[in-house]
Amino acid sequence: MVHSPDVNAVFELPDEAATQRLGACLAPQLSGGLVVFLEGDLGAGKTTLVRALLRKLGHLGPVKSPTYSLVEVYVISSLYLYHFDFYRFESPEEFLDAGFGEYFNDTAVCLVEWPERAQGCVPSPDLRLRIHHAGLGRVVEAMADTPEGTQCIKALASAWGDGNFSAMPAPR
């Protein structure tokens, strides 16, 4: 079954500081059980966004891309945040072989880079963030696939607050 997104929001990010601001605005919207797909080319700013949201949540340690480790784990208060990167997967079954399914639960937020490399094995997202290069900046398209994702986008748009986004229903 194909599920159409409920809400789209587009955020224009002219520089890295704007990407960091979006991550900081996203952080308070995260809650246990949320699955977020981070989509974009190499160097698009996926890890920059994650680093900013972790800083906003109070994480003081290093935040690195999980390209080689496959997952980086952060515990902030009672919230587990797992940052996955499946870029190096050669088949979706590697997700199952690694036992990553158990990480997706009600006490965890899962941020997933390169989810298409584990297609059919990784759980469906609540929220998808597509990051595109736009000149020297970026454009982030936020798409909700669940009511939780819709709520997250609405709160993110409200927190962003300066009108540099557009929200509209997605075509069905």
In a domain, 129, yes or no: yes
Q: What does the pLDDT read at residue 8?
A: 85
Judge whether 2 lies within some domain: no
Tens of pLDDT, residue by residue over 42-88, are 877 888 999 999 999 999 888 888 777 889 999 998 889 999 988 88
Q: Is residue 1 part of a domain?
A: no
Residue 161's pLDDT band (cuts 50, 70, 90): confident
Identify whether 99 is part of a domain: yes
- Tokens in use for 74? 């952060």
77 within domain boundaries:
yes
Of the given ranges (50-64, 99-113, 150-164), which has the lowest mean pLDDT? Answer: 150-164
Burial class (CB in 10 A: 0-12, 13-18, 19+), 162: exposed
- Quick check: is 18 in a domain? yes
Residue 103 lies in domain: 8-167
Number of structural domains the chain divides into: 1
- For residue 82, being part of any structural domain is answered with yes
CATH assignment of the domain containing 51 = 3.40.50.300
Domain assignment present for 3: no
Determine which of 14-18, 50-54, 90-94, 166-170 has the lowest per-residue pLDDT on average.
166-170
